[in-house]
């Protein structure tokens, strides 16, 4: 690849995150100008760390990262930092420009002229309707799906040469994902995307960088996700076939060596040559690429003693897509054990707000029967205390605090011995999601409230999670914009807030 075609390149790059947590080990790879690349890998492998290295927020331990001089970079993060949630929308975008200048990602300095016009234009691109009235609105008042659009807009408004998108489809409804896909197909500059949504990626990706959590290498592939999956499968088959043949020859040589060694005399020389040959063949065996681990199948036990009504909903509020005003609507929902309710509606209509009011009993128009334990999975993980260790977080929800039970459950969700004493805030978003599911298993809730439970989760885990929810025997209220996921779950009733 000619240097003139390369916009960024890792050369013998190594990075360790914290004490004894290697992410990259002498990585060599490059990205061509104008290409659209997916970064894939297991939860916790360090995909977001790569973006931190590219933006300069993190520094390599050794090796080099070359970025073409004069190139501008902007990143659309997974979540809006908590310290920025109280900013107005205008202040949020202005801060994005300021941060980029301070980080050296662009050379603009001083006041950004026509900021309101730029905001309107970029909110139009991300299909955030009613944008002309939103400039002075506090960021925290937007829904999760609207915040996902704002995060994307905060990167697009800078018109960067390299656009970094970290899980951009999280919280987006179908219309939002379709709009983003159309934009990326027509975007003429370089794009690097972290995502677990294969269907979304396949529509615009022309290459994949796969971060192997075991070797700490970035494997470079040409093609979309399906192409890469096929290439990996072929490679695995070849490696396993070669190793099987070598293993057979090694065993034959060892058997012969043992046979001749027992003969004594000159036969011992023959036996030594056989052992040497076996060692040579062992050196030829290749390290087979280990596939991502998946979480173990699990069951979320429901609160056993419950009978009769668990929750009732007589009224709920929605935000009108046209007027942006609160509208009250009547409902007649009564849920008992083994009943699953799906909440539907576009981004911004009020699904997350309704779930929060239900979970916290903050709405007189809904009633949860006394004594019912509520398992609440929030899309922003705000039910987790980020200062807690994983150990403390899991133990805190257990009625009978049996450490052996906790550790066995944690292991099923790929929570390692090293992770167990890590603070929640130091985990990747995907790892936080797995901790949240482990908590639900240990909590044994009677009512399960789930707000976008596939966000940030490795696609390999999603069918296992769907099966667990499908079999859940308590009452369950679910919000999800992922049709394939919802189709795998038994739904007894649907409440469409838009209708």
CA-to-CA distance for 7 and 191, rounded, in angstroms? Answer: 11
What average pLDDT does range 351-371 have in this prediction? Answer: 83
Residue showing tokens 């992922």 = 482
pLDDT surpasses 70 at 384: yes
pLDDT surpasses 80 at 286: no
Q: Is 223 left (phi over 0), alpha (psi -120 to 50) or beta?
A: left
Per-residue pLDDT band at 111 (split at 50, 70, 90): low
CA-to-CA distance for 497 and 499, rounded, in angstroms? Answer: 5
CA-to-CA distance for 177 and 171, rounded, in angstroms? Answer: 9
Among the residue ranges 36-40, 77-81, 151-155, 234-238, the one predicted with the least confidence is: 234-238
Neighbour-count burial for 53-63, b at 16+ CB within 10 Å, e otherwise: bbbeebebeeb
Per-residue pLDDT band at 110 (split at 50, 70, 90): very low
| pLDDT score at 362 | 60
Instruction: Please report the sign of the dihedral spanned by the C-alpha atoms of residue 226, residue 416, residue 82, residue 111.
Output: negative
CA 436 to chain centre: 13
| pLDDT score at 443 | 96
pLDDT surpasses 90 at 395: yes
| pLDDT score at 4 | 53
Torsion angle in degrees (nearest 10) through CA of 136, 139, 144, 147: 80
| pLDDT score at 3 | 44
Crossing angle between the packed helical segments 89-102 and 115-125, to the nearest 10 degrees: 100
| pLDDT score at 2 | 42
What average pLDDT does range 335-350 have in this prediction? Answer: 89
| pLDDT score at 331 | 86
pLDDT surpasses 50 at 434: yes
pLDDT tens, residue by residue, 44-71: 788 889 999 998 889 999 999 999 998 9
pLDDT surpasses 90 at 444: yes
pLDDT tens, residue by residue, 183-237: 888 888 999 999 877 778 888 888 888 888 778 888 888 887 777 767 777 777 7
| pLDDT score at 489 | 96
pTM above threshold 0.85: no
Round the average pLDDT of the chain to a whole number and report it: 85
Per mean pLDDT, which of 126-135, 174-183, 184-193, 241-250 is the most reliable? Answer: 184-193
pLDDT surpasses 60 at 288: no
What average pLDDT does range 105-111 have in this prediction? Answer: 57
Q: Strand 62-67's sheet: what is its strand order?
A: 22-32, 6-16, 62-67
What average pLDDT does range 462-490 have in this prediction? Answer: 93
Instruction: List, in order, residues 6 or more apart from 35 with CB less than 8 Å away.
Output: 190, 191, 206, 207
Tally of CB atoms within 10 A around 173: 19
């Amino acid at each position: 690849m000619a240097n003139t075609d390369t916009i960024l390149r890792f050369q013998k790059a190594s990075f360790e995150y914290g004490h004894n947590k290697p992410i990259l080990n002498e990585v060599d790879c490059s990205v061509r100008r104008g290409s659209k690349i997916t970064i894939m890998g297991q939860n916790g492998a360090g995909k977001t760390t790569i973006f931190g290295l590219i933006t300069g927020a993190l520094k390599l331990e050794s090796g080099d990262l070359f970025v073409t001089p004069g190139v501008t970079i902007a990143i659309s993060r997974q979540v809006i930092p908590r310290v920025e949630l109280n900013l107005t929308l205008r202040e949020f975008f202005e801060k994005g420009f300021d941060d980029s200048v301070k980080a050296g990602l662009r050379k603009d300095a001083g006041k950004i002229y026509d900021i309101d016009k730029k905001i309107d234009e970029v909110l139009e691109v991300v299909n955030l309707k009613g944008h002309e009235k939103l400039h002075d609105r506090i960021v925290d008042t937007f829904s999760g799906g609207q915040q996902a659009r704002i995060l994307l807009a905060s990167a697009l408004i800078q018109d960067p040469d390299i656009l970094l998108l970290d899980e951009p489809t999280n919280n987006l409804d179908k219309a939002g994902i379709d709009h983003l896909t159309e934009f990326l197909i027509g975007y003429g500059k370089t794009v690097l995307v972290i995502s677990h949504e294969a269907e979304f990626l396949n529509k615009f990706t022309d290459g994949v960088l796969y971060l192997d959590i075991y070797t700490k290498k970035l494997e470079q592939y040409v093609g979309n996700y399906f192409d890469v999956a096929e290439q990996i499968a072929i490679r695995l088959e070849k490696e396993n076939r070669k190793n099987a043949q070598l293993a057979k020859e090694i065993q034959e040589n060892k058997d012969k060596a043992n046979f001749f060694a027992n003969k004594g005399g000159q036969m011992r020389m023959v036996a030594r040559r056989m052992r040497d040959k076996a060692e040579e063949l062992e050196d030829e065996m290749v390290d087979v690429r280990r596939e991502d681990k998946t979480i173990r199948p699990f069951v979320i036990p429901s609160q056993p003693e419950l009978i009769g009504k668990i929750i009732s909903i007589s009224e709920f509020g929605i935000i009108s897509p046209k007027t942006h005003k609160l509208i009250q609507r009547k409902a007649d929902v009564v849920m008992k054990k083994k009943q699953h309710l799906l909440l539907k509606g576009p981004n911004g209509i009020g699904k997350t707000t309704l779930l929060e009011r239900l979970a916290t009993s903050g709405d007189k128009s809904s009633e949860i029967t006394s004594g019912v334990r509520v398992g609440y999975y929030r899309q922003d993980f705000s039910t987790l205390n980020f200062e807690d260790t994983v150990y403390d977080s899991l133990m805190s929800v257990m009625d009978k605090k049996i450490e052996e039970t906790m550790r066995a459950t944690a292991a099923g969700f790929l929570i390692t011995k090293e992770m167990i004493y890590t603070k929640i805030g130091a985990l990747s978003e995907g790892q936080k999601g797995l901790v949240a599911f482990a908590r639900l298993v240990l909590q044994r809730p009677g009512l399960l409230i789930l707000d976008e439970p596939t966000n940030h989760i490795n696609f390999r885990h999603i069918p296992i999670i769907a099966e667990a929810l499908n079999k859940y025997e308590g009452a369950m209220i679910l919000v999800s914009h992922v049709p394939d996921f919802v189709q795998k779950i038994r739904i007894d009733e649907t409440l469409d807030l838009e209708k």
